[in-house]
Amino acid sequence: MKTLILTEKPSQGMDFVRALPDRFQRKDGYCEGSKFIVTWAYGHLFEIDTEEIAGKKWKLDALPVFPRFFKYKVIKGTGKQFRIIKSLLKRKDIGKIVLSMDPGREGELIARLILQQAGWKDWSRVYRFWTSEALTKEVILREIERVKPASQFDSLYYSALARQHADWLVGINGTRAITLKVNDRTVWSLGRVQTPLLYLIVQREKEIENFKPIPYGIVYAFFEKDGKKFKAYLQLKKEEIKRLESESRADDENEEEKKKDEGTRLKVETAFKIAEELSKEKAGYVENIKKSKKSEKPPLLHSLTSLQREANKLYGYSAEKVLQVAQDLYEAKLISYPRTDAQHLAESSRELIKKVLKKLGKEDLIPAVDKVGKRVFDDSRLTDHFALIPMDRWKERPNFRKEHKNVYELIWRKFVGTFMPDYVYETVEVTLKIKNYRFMAKGKTDIQPGWKSLYREERSENKLPSLVLKEAVKVDDVKAEKRKTQPPSRYTEGMLLKMMEKLGLGTPATRSSIIETLKKRRYVISRKKSLQPTEKGRELVEKCNGLPILNVEMTSEWEKALEEIYRENRGAAGYDAFISGIKVFTEDLVERIKKIKFKVCVDRKTKKAVRKWKKGDLF
């Protein structure tokens, strides 16, 4: 009897063909040997048949649609391959089936749907191949002997199925209901995750528009010692601020502003008055010097989300592009499985990590593998997969572009850096006095670059000249500057991914596609790395005002519930309970939409509903 191996993509199928100890013959849609048959899908082969379930014609009184059974149809262009797989499953010489899709929720769903639609019944003969490592010959030969019964992954399948069906129930019913109710010849798409995410983007835009800048002033002085100039900012104590009748620091500073080292914020007129008072002073003196030796341990390894955020920050890559590039690198066996939310490694993987370091030519770091603790190796922080790591040296491929090398290097430096020495540096804070006013100058000197040597864009050494307590220092100039508080920044994709991770919206594997969906539906556009809602996106949120579809917290709870179906092994019962809750939500959503009265723009001549985009519309 032969073992039938089903992979998610042809390239993965060929990895098995090259690795397994068998002589294979290439046939139409599969490869056959004396012991194994390897075939493949093209990702998803099936999709929910919406027209069959909900009908081609949209009718408000037919909503909500709650199918008793979800019907599927073959995705266009994949029918031939499905028929090949189906014929192989019917062969009497097949003893065991090994599902070798990507190790995750979506891969499980792809495999199960293929077997179900092919009419497969004997699940006792179905096994699961599972690894986070690249599909090298060594890994395939090792893990093919460790396959587990597919039944152990039933809850993973039901979690995936619940997500797919919930997205359909909320999306189809919500979209049809609001589109029919608005009745302006435009499709208004709603989604279980995309709509709350759009709400966050629109709310941020409103915060920016409603922001009222507050003017303030700062004072700084230029000092000179041994021919080197350095800058120091005025620092006032609370009682001094009160005495000068100045304003305290603004309460609405955003995160970027808080990082600014600009001294005390004052009323503009107060700042210029102080600068004028000190303009003729020629010298100050050193009142205090505070030195501190500090160290920073290497950062955590990359998860998919942290990789997407860093690539967006440094290169402006979209989350979807980073995922596609990472998938290419994984299939080229250069990195581990990319769709991971972990930033740690398994305790049992220390020997693997030593082998990887040797492949990378970093043998000098191997002794550190046994020394690092839970900062790197921590089983309690793992889910299905360990952190993203390189599996081999960089190698060019014909289909690789600059993006591939850049993303690989981000993964490489996180991994290599985590076994390098700490970054050690010294900070110096010098208080200088001009008359009765204190100014603060800050310096930083590297002692041991350590892992930081891999991060050139973050190196911020700022050496001050050698200063001694009570010595006089020349004052070159004292200036005041008028500034304004800044509005919150628009979300970049990196910032949005961080917010989604914090709120539990989506998964590492789906977050990029959710952002892309908002772009494709023209609800948001990218401008200079930032995401900005279009007029249509803003109108959708306005139309959904008061509807539960905008509830970010509820969507977050749904994501937790989906994960618990798998983590707590709830199986079919977990699926049923989740979908029951989704149906209650969807029914309430549709009924609320039906009661809303929407304003419709009407063409004066034709008397037909039209869309009237405002001047300056980003469409």
Active-site positions?
Answer: 337
The whole-angstrom separation of Cα 541 and Cα 616 is 19
Number of H helices, E strands in the chain: 20, 19
In Å, what is the CA distance from 138 to each residue of 15, 131, 133, 509, 528?
Answer: 11, 12, 10, 26, 44
> What whole-number distance in Å separates Cα of residue 350 and Cα of residue 418?
13
The three-state DSSP-derived secondary structure of 322-349 is HHHHHHHHHHCCCECCCCCCCCCECHHH
Distance CA 306, CA 311 (A): 9
Q: Is 150 helix (H, G, I), strand (E, B) or coil?
A: helix
**320, 509 in Cβ contact below 8 A?**
no
Q: How far does Cα 426 stand from its chain's mean position?
A: 34
Asked if residue 497 lies in contact with residue 309, where contact means CB atoms within 8 angstroms, the answer is yes
Q: Which residues of 16-48 are buried (b: 16+ CB within 10 A; e: fewer)?
A: bbebbebebeeeebbbbbeebbbbbbeeebbeb
Residue 341 near residue 507 (C-beta atoms within 8 A): yes
Beta bridge partner(s), residue 475 = 223
Do 197 and 502 form a contact (C-beta atoms < 8 A)?
A: no
Provide the 3-class DSSP secondary structure of residue 395: coil
Residue 202: CB atoms within 10 A of its CB come to 22
DSSP 530: E
Residue keyed to tokens 């992954």: 153
Which parts of 236-372 are beta strand (E)? 283-296
**What's the sign of the alpha-carbon dihedral 403, 407, 408, 412?**
positive
State both tokens at 100: 């070798």
* 10, HSE (Cβ side, Cα atoms, 13 Å): 9
Q: How far apart are CA 163 and CA 159, in angstroms?
A: 6
- In terms of Cβ atoms closer than 10 Å to its own Cβ (0-12, 13-18, 19+), residue 479 is middle
Residues forming beta bridges with residue 30, ordered by sequence position: 27, 39
